[in-house]
Amino acid sequence: MKQSVKLIVGNWKMNGLGASLAEAEVLKDALEADPAACRVVLCPPATLIERMARLLGGGAVETGGQDCHDEPSGAFTGSVSAEMLADAGARLVILGHSESRASFAETDAGVAAKVETALAAGLEPIICVGETLEQRDAGEAIDVVSRQIAGSLPVSLTGQPFAVAYEPIWAIGTGRTPTLEEIEAMHRAVRAAMLKRLGAGGAAAPILYGGSVKPGNAAEILAVPEVGGALVGGASLKAEDFLGIIRGT
């Protein structure tokens, strides 16, 4: 079976000032000189999207947002709409990240509403799911992510470009990762839940793994069946680290 190109997404979270764009520039230059075997996206904070998108020029590295509101516009002080992200130059958007789900008490239905708004704005959603350590220890990981997929993926995704990111919450920013066998089992379960939810529409979208991906473990994780890429936090902040992951694809 043909292996599709991996999708490697960097999530800068609430990190990065204007000076940090130098890292994006190093990345762009490196990938223009020696093109990646994968698709590469950087998701800076909203304040940097426009400048980063202009700097990157939509070439070797694409730009994405980290979240958006579920309404297209209105009296929502402090929020950013999907259309605003697209207008600033974003082409993708991370939705339902566990940090957003926790900080803003986001429900699966709320994430699904954001996905609809993102699609309407022409953005490619990256929808995050993942279990807590307590849920994993209780043997509930597959049930939890299957429920999240059933609730967070609207049927309107069928036929649209999108990705799902499986991110065990206990692996995010902790330096801990599941075993390769655990990653494979979870990715197979995520695919099954996507097929159940979207039918054939859930067959092709890549399933990214996220949680303490680094240059030293990226290649083996990316070689696991059904791992279609990676969502990378801390190791995407420095071009050198992120390149180490990208070169592992």
Tell me the catalytic residues: 97, 167
Asked if residue 184 lies in contact with residue 225, where contact means CB atoms within 8 angstroms, the answer is yes
What track of x and - describes contact with ligand PEP for positions 210 through 229 (by CB under 6 A)? Answer: xxxx----------------
Contacting residue, 173, 199, 216, 225, with ligand PEP by CB under 6 A = 173
Asked if residue 236 lies in contact with residue 11, where contact means CB atoms within 8 angstroms, the answer is yes
SS3 call for 126? strand
Instruction: For residues 126 and 152, give the distance between their C-alpha atoms in angstroms, rounded to a whole number.
Output: 11
Based on the shown chain and the rule CB under 6 A, indicate whether residue 177 belongs to the binding site for ligand PEP: no
Where are the alpha helices (H) located in 96-179, listed in sequence order?
98-103, 108-120, 133-137, 141-152
Residues 10-29 binding ligand PEP (CB under 6 A) are: 11, 13
Based on the shown chain and the rule CB under 6 A, indicate whether residue 126 belongs to the binding site for ligand PEP: no
Contacting residue, 233, 239, 245, 248, with ligand PEP by CB under 6 A = 233
Pick the stretch among 36-44, 68-76, 154-162, 206-214 that binds ligand PEP (CB under 6 A).
206-214
Based on the shown chain and the rule CB under 6 A, indicate whether residue 243 belongs to the binding site for ligand PEP: no
Asked if residue 163 lies in contact with residue 229, where contact means CB atoms within 8 angstroms, the answer is yes
Instruction: For residues 13 and 231, give the distance between their C-alpha atoms in angstroms, rounded to a whole number.
Output: 12
Task: Look at residues 167, 177, 155, 156 and name the one whose alpha carbon lies nearest to residue 229.
Answer: 167
Q: In the bound complex, what is the minimum distance in angstroms from residue 166's beta carbon to ligand PEP?
A: 10
Q: In the bound complex, what is the minimum distance in angstroms from residue 211's beta carbon to ligand PEP?
A: 5
Residue nearest to ligand PEP (CB): 233
Which residues of the shown chain bind ligand PEP in the complex (CB under 6 A)?
A: 11, 13, 167, 172-173, 210-213, 231-235
